[in-house]
Amino acid sequence: MYKLYFAPGSAAMAPHAMLEEIGAPFELIKVDTKAGDQHSADYLKLNPHARVPTLVYDGDRVMYESTAICLFLADRHPNIPFMPKSDSKDRGLFLQWMAYLTNTLQESCMHWWHSEKFVDGDSEQAAVKCKAEQRTAEMFRFLDEQLAKSGPYLCGSTFYVCDYYAVMLARWTRAMVTPAHTTPNVNKLIRAVMQRPGYARMLKAEGIEQPV
Ligand SMILES: N[C@@H](CCC(=O)N[C@@H](CS)C(=O)NCC(=O)O)C(=O)O
């Protein structure tokens, strides 16, 4: 039995979609981040950074960081090929995308969503947000070109969990000037990923929609 602490539309989307697909029993525990529940004493014992997602597994084992949870679940449930095997030709590219998505693209989105965490002052925050919006759009344009050359998935013809991760981040751009779903090949990727039962069930369970 897994327990996934999540907030709707958060970085929990990708591991949540995996759990929906894996079929192992899991419990979803909603953390009301708008109300500040991530700062409660009980939650901080699980995740001292006051963020979601957090995964509890094997009774009392705890881990956080969305990408790490995705890789962990992919390792544990090889019945669904969420990640290429270590000797697969796709392995290097897959790891590249997981790292790029989490530490570059996700971070750029975070600057847009939470400019107040990076600088003080209204005009400074507006400047950070403006730059983050440009950088995020550039990165999605780059991904779009990659997909045009060697899609429909990030590693070519095979879906892996990096595609869940990219589509989760695409949703985070929905209120930006150039949302990711308006680039044609990212749009195709979103549509393909939404056909997967896990992603569709995750959207429903979280009560959110994915713009296409
Ligand atoms: N690097 C972390 C980032 C997690 C993160 O920032 N989660 C956001 C929601 S997407 C959160 O919990 N925000 C609450 C807050 O900042 O107070 C991960 O990928 O798991």
What pLDDT does residue 101 have?
98
Domains 2-76 and 91-195 share a fold: no
Phi, psi (5° rounding) for residue 88?
-75, 150
Determine whether domain 91-195 maps to CATH 3.30.1360.120.
no
Give the confidence band of 9 by pLDDT, cuts at 50, 70, 90: very high
Give per-residue pLDDT as tens, 19-53: 999 999 999 999 999 999 999 999 999 999 999 99
- The pLDDT, as a whole number, for residue 93 is 98
Is the separation of the CB atoms in 83 and 42 below 8 Å? Answer: no
Closest atom of ligand 1 relative to the 9 alpha carbon = 10
Going by C-alpha positions, the residue among 105, 106, 125 that lies closest to residue 117 is 125
Q: Whole-model pTM?
A: 0.98
2-76: CATH topology is Glutaredoxin (3.40.30)
According to the model, what pLDDT value does residue 151 have? 97
| End-to-end Cα distance, the chain | 33
Domain boundaries, the chain: 2-76, 91-195
CB of residue 11 inside a 6 A radius of ligand 1: yes
User: Ligand 1 in contact with 52 (CB < 6 A)?
Assistant: yes
Ligand 1, residues 51, 65, 164: which to mutate, most atoms within 8 A of Cβ?
Answer: 51
3-state secondary structure of 156: strand
Q: What angle do CA 201, 207, 211 make, to 5 degrees?
A: 85
Q: Confidence band (pLDDT; 50, 70, 90) for 177?
A: very high
